[in-house]
């Protein structure tokens, strides 16, 4: 997620009430911050060795803002599914996503059921007069287990009892909703087991493995068996997929398609089982189509307008930033013809360049933080990535996109420093709704002091609560 023009919402009454409840706790309990961090570690709220939440306040959401986000996010997720179906039937449309050849091969395999993205997430900035989405993570996004566990911890903090005298506080049962979505996709696929055996599949060395342990525990409490497994431990005998001797019915795929393409031998069993329709896999490989950042270029390009209704086009106009794949072409910018490369060079202060298919902020260049020389170099890198004769092998090449700058939200949060004191710091707030089978089910909320708001780049996470003032 990348930053843009800074905006501050009006002072939040819930935040003021929370601060009034927090300060006496800090004054009376000097070791409170240290105990809080220890509790996070005990409950596996870590990314590698780093705790997820060095902050002592949740993000507060009004019912009105929740509904505003719901309508737009569910519309965009529905458009993602529609565009997948259209692209698989229209090679010219498919080409606009700039997938690598092996990614296209995987995306065109029979998936066995309709939803490309059983679980997805949109990255957004929510402000009183603005709601803009910067990216769509259509490929089994991380964080739901962490977000739910964080919310449970915050519910038990001493500040919450005082705060709850003023507000009704609602949190989001993400793991139950995720499990429901996975099982519904399994049934759509044709699965008949009443207790399908689930495998959560990713590399055992990933820093998010602790979240898989959280989800395994929660799914099993809800009655379904779960095995955590590395793709290298999967075995396919031509009929069934197994992990550690256990037959798998449903794969909750967290290993990325980028890794499946880069490490084909190690992922061979998974791909062969998927190709043979021997196991239900969520998300399907088709999720790669809307997952790439070029998806927003498809949404905002007028040549694709016939795919969307007038109300949908209006939602795109209001909530999706103008985006284009970086090429030496003429195009439209809000109805006016432009030469794209000249426009990118001229409008540096209002644009972001980023690879269409990277994560964690890799390669992102913020024009307003970049001098002219470095911006020109970034444009050159972007052009060379996809143009004929690129020095990269075609299997490794990928498009870059340019996207307009959008307003971002900043708020002040209590932050636990390295020496366990608490400071109030101004933070960027990245508010990301989870969508399970296209329905909003909760949120990932990330904070950062910099223009990149993600855990990979050093950001932190807080729970999101919907709060409603209690009657006086």
Which range of residues forms the domain containing residue 237? 6-290+408-469
Tell me: the pLDDT tens digits for 396-432? Answer: 457 999 999 999 999 999 999 989 999 999 999 999 9
Summarize the confidence of residues 104-122 as an average pLDDT: 96
pLDDT of amino acid 459 = 64
Question: Are residues 252 and 158 part of one domain?
Answer: yes
How many domains does the structure of the chain reveal? Answer: 2
For residue 59, list its beta bridge partners: 464
Which residues fall within 8 angstroms of residue 337, CB to CB, at 6 or more apart? 330, 331
Is the same domain home to 331 and 418?
A: no
Q: 376 and 246, same structural domain? A: no
Q: What average pLDDT does the chain have?
A: 92
Check whether residue 262 and residue 347 sit in a common domain.
no
Q: CA 255, 260, 265, 271: dihedral to nearest 10 degrees?
A: 90
- pLDDT tens per residue across span 439-455: 999 999 999 987 655 44
pLDDT at 4 (0 to 100)? 53
**Same domain (yes/no): 269, 196:** yes
Residue 239 to residue 252: CA distance in whole angstroms: 19
Looking at the predicted structure, is the pLDDT value of residue 118 above 90? yes
The last residue of one of the domains, among 354, 384, 404, is: 404
- Give dist(CA 145, CA 210) in Å, integer: 9
As a whole number of angstroms, the distance between CA 191 and CA 195 comes to: 10
For residue 97, CA distances in Å to 87, 287, 324 come to 9, 12, 11
Strands 250-253 and 280-282: parallel
Q: What is the pLDDT of residues 18-77, one digit of tens each?
A: 999 999 999 999 999 999 999 999 998 987 778 889 999 999 999 999 999 999 999 999
Is the pLDDT score of 176 beyond 60?
Answer: yes
Say yes or no: 85 and 184 in one domain.
yes
For residue 189, the domain's CATH number is 3.40.50.1760
d(CA 289, CA 177): 24
Task: Summarize pLDDT for 79-96 with one digit per residue, the tens.
Answer: 999 999 999 999 999 999
- pLDDT tens for 263-286 read 999 999 999 999 999 999 999 999
* Length, in residues, of the chain: 472
Q: Is the domain of 217 the same as that of 140?
A: yes
Tell whether pTM > 0.85.
yes
> Of 389, 404, 419, which closes a domain?
404
Over 60: is that where the pLDDT of 391 sits? no
Distance CA 315, CA 189 (A): 31
Q: What is the largest CA-CA distance in the chain?
A: 69
Give the pLDDT score at 386. Answer: 66
Identify the H or E element spanning 158. helix 158-163
Residue 308 included in any domain: no
Structure confidence by residue, pLDDT tens digits, 139-173:
989 999 999 999 999 999 999 999 999 999 999 99
Does 394 have pLDDT greater than 70?
no
Residues 58 and 145 in one domain: yes
SS3 assignment for 23-63:
HHHHHHCCCHHHHHHHHHHHCCCEECCEECCCECCCEEECH
Residue 12 has pLDDT above 50, yes or no: yes
Query: Strand (E) positions, 202-273?
Result: 226-229, 234-236, 241-243, 246-248, 250-253
């Amino acid at each position: 997620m990348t930053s843009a023009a800074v905006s501050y919402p009006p002072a939040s009454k819930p935040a003021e009430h929370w601060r009034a409840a927090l300060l006496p706790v800090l004054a009376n309990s000097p070791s409170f911050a240290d105990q809080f961090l220890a509790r996070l570690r005990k409950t596996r709220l870590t990314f590698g060795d780093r705790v997820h939440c060095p902050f002592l306040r949740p993000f507060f959401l009004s019912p009105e803002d929740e509904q505003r986000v719901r309508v737009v996010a569910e519309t965009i997720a529905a458009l993602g599914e529609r565009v997948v179906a259209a692209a698989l039937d229209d090679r010219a449309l498919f080409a606009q996503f700039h997938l690598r050849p092996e990614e296209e091969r995987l995306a065109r395999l029979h998936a066995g059921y309709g939803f490309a993205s059983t679980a997805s997430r949109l990255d957004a900035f929510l402000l009183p007069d603005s709601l803009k989405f910067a990216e769509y993570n259509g490929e089994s996004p991380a964080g739901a287990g962490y977000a739910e566990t964080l919310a449970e911890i915050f519910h038990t903090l001493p500040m919450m009892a005082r705060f709850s005298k003023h507000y009704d506080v609602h949190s989001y049962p993400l793991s139950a909703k995720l499990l429901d979505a996975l099982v519904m996709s399994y049934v759509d696929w044709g699965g008949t087991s009443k207790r399908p055996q689930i495998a959560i599949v990713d590399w055992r060395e990933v820093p998010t493995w602790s979240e898989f342990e959280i989800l395994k525990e929660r799914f099993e409490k809800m009655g379904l068996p779960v095995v955590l497994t590395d793709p290298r431990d999967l075995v396919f005998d031509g009929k069934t997929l197994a992990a550690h001797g256990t037959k798998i019915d449903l794969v909750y795929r967290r290993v990325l398609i980028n890794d499946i393409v880069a490490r084909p031998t190690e992922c061979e069993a998974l791909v062969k089982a998927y190709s043979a329709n021997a196991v239900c896999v969520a998300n399907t490989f088709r999720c790669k189509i809307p997952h790439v950042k070029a998806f927003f270029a498809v949404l905002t390009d007028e040549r694709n307008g016939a795919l969307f209704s007038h109300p949908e086009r209006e939602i795109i106009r209001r909530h999706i930033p103008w985006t284009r794949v970086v090429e030496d072409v003429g195009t439209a910018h809000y109805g006016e013809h432009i030469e794209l490369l000249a426009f990118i060079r001229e409008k540096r202060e209002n644009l972001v360049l980023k690879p269409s298919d990277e994560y964690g902020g890799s390669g992102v260049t913020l024009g307003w933080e970049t001098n002219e020389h470095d911006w020109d170099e970034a444009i050159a890198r972007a052009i060379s990535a996809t143009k004929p004769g690129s020095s990269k092998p075609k299997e490794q090449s990928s498009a870059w996109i340019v996207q307009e700058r959008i307003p971002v939200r900043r708020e002040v949060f209590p932050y636990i420093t390295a020496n366990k004191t608490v400071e109030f710091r101004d933070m960027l707030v990245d508010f990301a709704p989870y969508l399970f089978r296209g329905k909003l089910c909760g949120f990932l909320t990330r904070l950062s002091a910099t223009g990149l708001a993600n855990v990979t780049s050093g950001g932190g996470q807080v729970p999101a609560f919907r709060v409603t003032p209690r009657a006086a």
